[in-house]
Amino acid sequence: MDRIQTLDQVQAEGELSKRKKAAMFVSGLLIGAVVLGGIAWAAGHGMAPNAPPGSSSVAMKNIQFDPAVLTVPKGTTVTWTNDDPVVHTVTSDAPGGPLDSPDMLQGAKWSFTFAQDGTYAYHCTPHATFDAGMSKWMGMTAKVVVGTGVGGGNGTEPMDLPHATYDARTTRPAPAERWIALEAKELPLAVAPKKVLAAWTFGGALPGPILRVVEGDLVHFTLYNNGTMPHSMDFHAAETPWDVNYQPVAPGTSFSFDWTAMWPGVYMYHCGAAPVLAHIGNGMYGMIIVDPRNDTRPAPDVEYALVQSEIYLTDAVDAEGMYHGDIDKMQKVTPTYVVFNGYANQYKDAPLTVGVGKRIRLHVMNAGPTTFSAFHVIGAMFDRVWVDGNPANEMVGLQTWQIAPGGGATFDLVIPAPGLYPFVTHSFAYTGLGALGLIKAT
């Protein structure tokens, strides 16, 4: 039985768990340092302490430079190491600048000795673009401050962007032949107050647009890759050859394929380019609903689509003030946030609404990439749940239903009394990380 006095208490449980995990993690690091004989370890992406003349290093990982701002004395030799499974470069922003590495495969190193004072801005050619309007490089960028800059550290303030509540309302379409086009691109998106992710997206949104078709519809799909790296499309709702239609699409190109929606349900779509964990973890996912052609279920009065996902942020921002997806945290499953529709707690301040006694239908998909969702509405019961959203998989009178990563379900409920009804993942360690919203019945 849930005994929750306030929403803040719900989230406090998750925050307490987060602090305990952090303490355990730090303790493990300290023990590891002793075992390894006192090796010094400095946490924190995006900045580096001042170094004496000699040598310093920059890691290329998670599609970013770490640190993004390096301050060194004149005469320092800096070595870059590519820890990513994709090609990177170290290229001066200024045409003809001194930093001009060859293409660097995973494990490659490249060094440069800074003999003159100054600020050396640079970027990775495959993973950065020049914004003519802002007259600057955007994406995988960084800088080395030599000489007079010694003593500052990073100094970059986190970027802040306005956030518009993700519109979760959705309605059933009529059967039709469908033409769907999505653009793959990278751009900054807010995921919490003063937390801007350098997101990889479909359609410039996190999650991608809610797509909805009807069982039997022929879908003509095109992916336009306007990003800086290969992307692809994997529709869980489609039956189609993986090696033919889910192939990586190079930047600046497009790819089309057709498929027929044969099975009704609530499905995930996502980028399947390698490494898939990084592409999903950085935001390349969305929901597609396939409505049954002959739907005999009770008609809902209102429908909403909710995508649960984890967000893994680096510990510090890059030179532009953005956080990046942290592949190490993804692999260790230590999320910064767990959210519904891409932003922490957004439906706490902007509740979903329904009339008292009206049927509300919630289409819920768990994008993961790793944790399960234990979807639950506090103070209400699901009179019907359809596993994977398929009407053939009906269950009756449920309190909570578990959704695996990459899975979905449809939940129906009728709320008999006015008030606020929180929806959460009942894995409360994650509720406190942002997986909480409200249904307001009036």
pLDDT tens track for 419-436: 999 999 999 999 999 999
Evaluate whether residue 36 is within a structural domain. Answer: no
Evaluate whether residue 24 is within a structural domain. Answer: no
Per-residue pLDDT averaged across 344-349, rounded? 96
Evaluate whether residue 194 is within a structural domain. Answer: yes
**Helix (H, G, I), strand (E, B), or coil: what is residue 323?**
strand
Evaluate whether residue 6 is within a structural domain. Answer: no
Do 283 and 327 belong to one domain? yes
Range of the domain at 81: 55-146
Could you tell me the strand order of the sheet in which 285-291 lies? 211-214, 285-291, 265-270, 234-235
Name the pTM for this structure.
0.72
> What does the pLDDT read at residue 35?
28
CB distance 259 to 239 below 8 Å: yes
Task: Report the number of distinct structural domains present in the chain.
Answer: 2
Residues with Cβ within 8 Å of 43's Cβ and at least 6 positions away in sequence, in order, are: 315
Distances (CA, A) of 292 to 173, 178, 389, 391: 11, 16, 10, 8
> What does the pLDDT read at residue 132?
55
Q: Does the pLDDT value for residue 176 go beyond 50?
A: yes
Q: Tell the burial category of 277 from Cβ atoms under 10 Å away from its Cβ (0-12, 13-18, 19+).
A: middle
Q: Facing residues of 265 across strands?
A: 290
Do 228 and 88 belong to one domain? no
Largest CA distance in the chain: 75
pLDDT tens track for 275-299: 999 999 999 999 999 999 999 999 9
Query: Residue 20: how many CB atoms within 10 A of its CB?
Result: 11
d(CA 397, CA 413) in angstroms, rounded, equals 9
Pairing of β 436-441 and β 352-354: parallel
Task: Give the residue with greater pLDDT, 2 vs 217.
Answer: 217
Do 349 and 395 belong to one domain? yes
Evaluate whether residue 410 is within a structural domain. Answer: yes
CATH number at residue 100: 2.60.40.420
> What does the pLDDT read at residue 96?
77
CB distance 241 to 202 below 8 Å: no
Do 116 and 226 belong to one domain? no
Do 82 and 202 belong to one domain? no
Evaluate whether residue 16 is within a structural domain. Answer: no
